């Protein structure tokens, strides 16, 4: 039982659970850039929140189902055509063998998730199927999906249709207000950052998103001894443009670490696309924890096994 990638779009990869506990070996987390959207897709087809799914950047993709199977699509706003009919995001649909799903280029947001009511066959490294392209780990032969790729499916299921509750549909936007705490290298001169609006540039990947705007001036020689860095960090390399780190970010770095987007809001980073505007909202550590617990409480009735 299989599905076939007809068009992968700009980049499509298989992603599953992040790799946790191996950053001291240089192994990044990987996993979905927007874990909440992937969890919502998996929920609709009865999978675990972190079951392996297809992550598609910017849409412009097409898939053919070679066997009867249910699926669901979430994430960036894009028009879906399934078996010739317009269908909605955030709903489970059932394909017959030969049906095609076409995902138009995303109008807003960056990443789309296709969950399948099946176990998607993928390579496993350190207990995770998530693709990490620089080291060819996990996923489909460790690489991005190509037109013509056949993905093997096991335990294929057909399930009744279901929809994500309206109030849990994530809001896609061209403008994000991300809650953040001060990073270890936040300089006193950076207070104005909380009032600035930054713009995402075209340098964007699963490793991170470059931001331009009025960053504080940091002396040229301000690089630091290499230290741990995590997704959600805003670094400021010497070029004067910030870099917001995502799921595939390097595990250590020496650039000044100005801000850290709080855990509650990191899932939003996976939807930032070039040209989007970003503001940072100042929070304390305790406020960040309170915000995380509040958001988790909102999600846990629908996504009992999902953890932000």
Partner 1 sequence: MNDPAITFCGDDALRLSAPDRDERLARARQLRTTGDWLEVVPGRRDVTVQFDPLRHTPTEALAHLSHTLATPAPPPSRTLETVELPVHFGGKNGPDLADISNRTGLSEAEVVSRLLSEPLQIDMLGFTPGFAYMSGLDDTIEIPRLLQPRQQVPAGSIGLITGQCGLYALAGPGGWPIIGRTPVSLFDPVSDNPFRLQPGMQVRLVDAAAS
CB of 86 to partner 1, least distance (A): 39
- Binding status of residue 253 toward partner 1 by CB under 8 A: yes
Q: What are the phi and psi torsion angles at 166 (to 5°)?
A: -50, -45
- Contact call for residue 24 and partner 1 (CB under 8 A): yes
Q: Which one, of 249, 287, 265, lies nearest residue 36 by Cα?
A: 265
Binding test (CB under 8 A) with partner 1, winner from 3, 115, 292, 303: 292
- Name the one range near partner 1 by CB under 8 A: 41-49, 68-76, 92-100, 253-261: 253-261
User: Binding to partner 1 (CB under 8 A): which residues in 81-120?
Assistant: none
Q: Does 40 bind partner 1 (CB under 8 A)?
A: no
Q: Which is nearer to partner 1, 21 or 98 (CB)?
A: 21
- Residue 32: CB atoms within 10 A of its CB come to 28
Three-state DSSP class for 139? Answer: strand
Work out the number of other CB atoms within 10 angstroms of the CB of residue 250: 15
Cβ proximity to partner 1, 109 vs 138, nearer residue = 138
Asked if 143 interacts with partner 1 (CB under 8 A), we say no
**How many Å apart are CA 240 and CA 131, to the nearest integer?**
31
257 near partner 1, judged by CB under 8 A: yes
Site for partner 1 contains 222 (CB under 8 A):
no
88, 161, 252, 294: which one binds partner 1 (CB under 8 A): 252
Q: What CA–CA distance (Å, rounded) separates 291 from 299?
A: 12
Nearer to partner 1, 72 or 249 (CB): 249
258 Cβ contact list (under 8 Å, min separation 6) = 182, 183, 185, 186, 187, 190, 193, 215, 216, 234, 235, 236, 242
SS3 at position 57: strand
Name the segment binding partner 1 (CB under 8 A); options: 50-58, 70-78, 134-142, 187-195.
134-142
Instruction: Give the integer Cα–Cα distance in Å for 15 and 140.
Output: 10
Query: Which residues bind to partner 1, rule: CB under 8 A?
Result: 20-21, 23-28, 125, 132, 134-137, 142, 181, 183-184, 225-228, 230, 232-233, 250-253, 257, 260, 262-263, 283, 285-286, 288-289, 292-293, 296, 307-308
């Amino acid at each position: 039982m299989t599905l076939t990638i007809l068009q992968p779009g700009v980049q499509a990869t298989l992603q599953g659970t992040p790799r946790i506990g191996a950053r001291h070996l240089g192994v990044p987390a990987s996993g979905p850039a927007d874990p909440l959207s992937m969890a919502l897709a998996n929920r609709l087809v009865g999978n675990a929140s972190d079951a392996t799914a297809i992550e598609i950047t910017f849409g412009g993709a097409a898939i053919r189902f070679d066997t009867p199977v249910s699926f669901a699509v979430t994430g960036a706003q894009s028009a879906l055509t399934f078996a010739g009919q317009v269908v909605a995001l955030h709903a489970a649909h059932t394909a017959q063998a030969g049906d095609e799903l076409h995902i138009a280029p995303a109008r807003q947001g960056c990443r789309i998730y296709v969950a399948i009511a099946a176990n998607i066959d993928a390579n496993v490294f350190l207990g995770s199927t998530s693709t990490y392209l620089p080291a060819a780990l996990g996923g489909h032969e460790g690489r991005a999906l190509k037109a013509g790729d056949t993905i093997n499916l096991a335990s294929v299921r057909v399930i009744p249709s279901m929809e994500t509750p309206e109030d849990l549909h994530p809001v896609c936007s061209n403008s994000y207000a991300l809650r953040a705490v001060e990073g270890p290298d936040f300089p006193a001169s950076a207070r104005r950052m909380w009032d600035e609006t930054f713009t995402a540039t075209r340098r964007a990947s699963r490793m991170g998103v470059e931001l331009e705007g009025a960053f504080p001036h940091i002396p040229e020689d301000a690089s630091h001894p290499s230290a741990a860095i995590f997704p959600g960090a805003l670094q400021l390399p010497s070029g004067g443009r910030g870099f917001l780190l995502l799921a595939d970010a390097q595990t250590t770095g020496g650039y000044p670490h100005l801000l850290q987007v709080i855990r509650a809001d990191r899932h939003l980073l996976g939807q930032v696309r070039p040209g989007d505007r970003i503001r940072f909202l100042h929070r304390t550590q305790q406020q960040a924890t309170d915000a995380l617990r509040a958001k988790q409480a909102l999600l846990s009735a629908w996504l009992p096994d999902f953890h932000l």
